[in-house]
Structure 1
């Protein structure tokens, strides 16, 4: 049964070797979606290759072919590689979720099922799939144009343009937007993470960045290294990480060249992040010095007034001076702590 639009229900393929779990899936999802339920990784591949569903709910631990291997095989075939896969497992450790993502999965749900969580994740995955489907042709056209227009010299020129555009920027948000624009020139769809003292910034061409992709970016490779899984590539340099969703793996030369360009781009971006941090730190230091200057003037003024008074320094006056000195010390300690 092919996926439909309009009044047609989305078609979901559920895969689990425990009959009770298949019954639960039917109970939770059967009223809202068309369901096909199978009990093995091999049956999953057969169903998906016969007619690709809109979404696959795939158990990880099964007899014979497990869910991870089934997902890797799905993602290796052109006619099934774009089907979103949500893994289902009784295990929920981060390394297990990351193993699912590396195999090509899009999300993770733990057993026993929480009805609301399962429905929300299914609907989010289907909405994302529908959006990607509607953009697929335009994205393909953009990538074709980029691949044709960006010769080796054109790629170098694009990098130089990014270098010139990045250095005047004075915020992570502006830098991230410039990076997204740069990747768009290459026809690439990405998720970015830019680390910061006040929290990390996540950006993508699709808008929201899901929790699993955030975890993948946070657990990324060492600086300057790449991790490839299918058409997706994960890379990191310093405080900047990127997950590319559609690397041109079919063109070996372009793939290798774009990886080199990506490395240079991440170095440029990280250098600008360091620059932004230093500029913001200097600004904070200047503001702290001004506050310290004002507090010092107030303390000296209070002491001078107390000296000139015939009654000397009152108890309340002493307490006020001590309070102001505490504020001064707090300002100094706060700034030292940021170094």
Structure 2
């Protein structure tokens, strides 16, 4: 039994409230209100452990109520689950952007309801435990922690990121330094190809990141969630420490520097990739021209040999026929025939050299293939 856990059901339809109460009241303490306005009033009196919030209601909508709750209670771990008959992608995305933790479609399936409620409460317990632990740790370490130590991490990030040649690793480095500051984040990096860090491509978080690629503002905050955009990276921070104004202000300053450095390195990586692609295209063209020229040269060499051999064989045959009519002595005939045979042999040796030359041309082409396959990225001097 979990009667010590309070769930607030917000819905303008009495039947829906009754149905949700019937499903939950055996395990939880359930309260009801019939509008977004009454939800805000009820929460101001008693903070529930979880809210089941309808979307489409008279007065302020569920989305508006959720946004208001996140603004008024930014430091509270208050799970909010939308319960709605609206099942479009845009409605789900709007719910996430409003600050909800999950979304359930009407009519509500008991198994889905119990699973999502249990999951949100579990996450709330983890966050509460983590906050309690973090609060204790911060209180002990706060005196030792100084702005210079944070700046030291930023400086180290600047040094490390300049040696990174992979876009996803830049995103991971950003996520890691934010984690060291106690913040959870996801990111979208774009250097011609897009990669997501900390979330799946089909997740709601990824959709939010993609939406903010072309957003008018560089920084946008909704409750404890903050989105920061640069040309090559969009960052979503899930838990900005809004309850600590000084710490939050320092982190915003750090983030501005970190984002500029990360974006510059991603731009550098994109330039490298473009230069490498251009170099490969040029080299492919060079190989194509070389292949065609070597092919033509080889054909001409063999045609020349074939023609020379034909001429020589014809001459020797004609010479043999003419010797009988010249009235030469036997030793003179032998000398002429020996001279013709020697010339023929020399031409055959020349044909052998043509094959050697053709083979050497082929070896040159193979070397070009090998060089193309081992082509490395441009050096720093290429970019200067």
Look up the match of 1:219: 211
Q: 1:244 aligns with which of 237, 242, 247?
A: 237
Closer/same/farther in 2, CA of residues 159 and 19 from structure 1, 3 Å limit = same
Counterpart Cα distance in 1 of 2:169 and 2:73: 36
| Structure with the higher fraction of residues in helix conformation | 2
Q: Is the 8 A contact 1:142 1:187 kept in 2?
A: no
Mark the structure with the bigger radius of gyration.
2
Give the secondary-structure state (helix, strand or coil) at the position aligned to 1:194: strand
Shift of 1:92: 5.4
Q: Given the alignment of the two structures, is residue 201 of structure 1 paired with residue 193 of structure 2, yes or no?
A: no
- Indicate the residue corresponding to 1:188 in structure 2: 183
1:171 aligns with 2:166: yes
**2:194 match: secondary structure:** coil
TM-score (normalizing by structure 1)? 0.70
Q: Report how far residue 302 of structure 1 moved.
A: 2.6
Q: Which residue of 2 aligns with 1:52?
A: 48
| Counterpart for residue 280 of structure 1 | 273
- Contact 1:26–1:35 (Cα < 8 Å) also in 2: no
Whole-angstrom CA distance in 2 between matches of 1:182 and 1:14: 39
Judge conservation of contact 1:74–1:81 (CA < 8 Å) in 2: no
CA distance in structure 2 between the aligned counterparts of 1:294 and 1:223, rounded to whole angstroms: 47
Give unmatched runs, 5+ long, in structure 2: 307-384
Aligned equivalents of 2:9, 2:248: Cα separation in 1: 34
Q: Mapping of 1:118-129 within 5 angstroms?
A: 125=120, 128-129=123-124
CA contact (8 A) 1:191 1:244 kept: yes
For 1:297-336, what aligned pairs fall within 5 Å after superposition? 297-308=290-301, 310=303
Contact 2:2-2:28 at 8 Å conserved across structures: no
Q: TM-score, normalised by structure 2?
A: 0.63
User: Please, what is the CA RMSD of the aligned residues?
Assistant: 4.0
User: 1:153: which partner in 2?
Assistant: 148
Aligned counterparts of 1:32 and 1:301: Cα–Cα separation in 2: 86
Determine if contact 1:147/1:186 at 8 Å carries over to the other structure: no
Instruction: Name the residue aligned to 1:326.
Output: none
* Alpha-carbon distance between aligned partners in 2 of 1:276 and 1:52, rounded to the nearest angstrom: 49
Query: Matched residue of 1:219: which SS?
Result: helix
How many equivalent pairs are there? 302
How far did residue 150 of structure 1 move? Answer: 4.7
Distance in 2 of aligned mates of 1:245 and 1:51: 22
